[in-house]
């Protein structure tokens, strides 16, 4: 029995070390990590996100409402998405991009990867990456990209047609078959 108690204590210590290591990795990751409660109050924010927002450390924003860091015109949408994730419709919003407003007024676009945590509380757990404006794929950028491809294809086809009509293109039929 003593041996089992000792093994149990050792296992608990190892689990605690692992838990601490995981929290340290999340806290100092270059990815943003955010955990919100059901009222959208910040329960955990890693150092990277806290300092990007303009705080000195990750403790300052704890308990603050996340909507305070969302531009006014996006707050209703983000609140609705949070409720949707909370109400088990997380697949719909597993990945999303929205702006966040820093303490100094700067705005950053962030791509979020969201999920719901159901342990003691129903919380939203999110990882985020800064999206550079030049890398954002928008409907307009896709339209422009495909327009360019179509134009290049059209130019190549017209050029080939002109060469055929002018007799400057010959067809290689290979060796005659006997």
Tens-digit pLDDT string for the chain (178 aa): 888 888 889 888 888 888 788 777 777 777 899 999 989 999 999 999 999 999 999 999 999 999 999 999 999 998 988 888 777 665 666 788 889 999 999 999 998 888 887 767 778 888 788 886 435 555 666 666 667 677 777 777 777 777 777 766 555 444 544 4
Which pLDDT does position 176 carry in this prediction?
A: 47
Q: List, as one string, the DSSP characters of 5-31.
A: HHHHHHHHHHHHHHHHHHHHHHHH-SS
Q: Does residue 58 contact residue 47 with C-beta atoms inside 8 Å? A: yes
Domain boundaries, the chain: 31-135, 137-169
142-to-91, 93, 113, 127, 155 alpha-carbon distances in Å = 24, 22, 23, 26, 20
Which pLDDT does position 142 carry in this prediction?
A: 62
Encoded tokens for 158: 């017209």
Task: State the fold for domain 31-135.
Answer: Beta-Lactamase (3.30.450)
Which pLDDT does position 173 carry in this prediction?
A: 46
Residues forming a β-bridge with 109: 99
Q: Does residue 124 contact residue 82 with C-beta atoms inside 8 Å? A: yes
Comparing CA positions, the residue from 70, 23, 62 lying closest to residue 43 is 62
Which pLDDT does position 159 carry in this prediction?
A: 76
């Amino acid at each position: 029995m003593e041996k089992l108690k000792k093994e149990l204590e050792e296992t608990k210590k190892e689990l605690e070390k692992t838990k601490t290591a995981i929290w340290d990795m999340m806290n100092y990751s270059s990815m943003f990590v955010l955990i919100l409660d059901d009222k959208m109050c910040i329960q955990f924010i890693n150092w990277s996100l806290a300092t990007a927002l303009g705080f000195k450390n990750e403790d300052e924003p704890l308990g603050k409402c996340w909507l305070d860091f969302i531009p006014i015109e996006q707050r209703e949408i983000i609140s609705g998405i949070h409720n949707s994730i909370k109400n088990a419709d997380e697949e719909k919003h597993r990945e999303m991009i929205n702006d966040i407003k820093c303490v100094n007024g700067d705005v950053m676009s962030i791509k979020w990867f969201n999920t719901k945590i159901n342990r003691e509380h129903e919380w939203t757990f999110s990882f985020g990456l800064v999206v550079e404006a030049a890398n954002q794929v928008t409907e307009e950028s896709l339209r422009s990209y495909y327009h360019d491809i179509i134009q290049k294809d059209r130019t190549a086809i017209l050029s080939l047609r002109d060469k055929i009509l002018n007799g400057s293109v010959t067809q290689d039929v290979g060796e005659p078959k006997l």
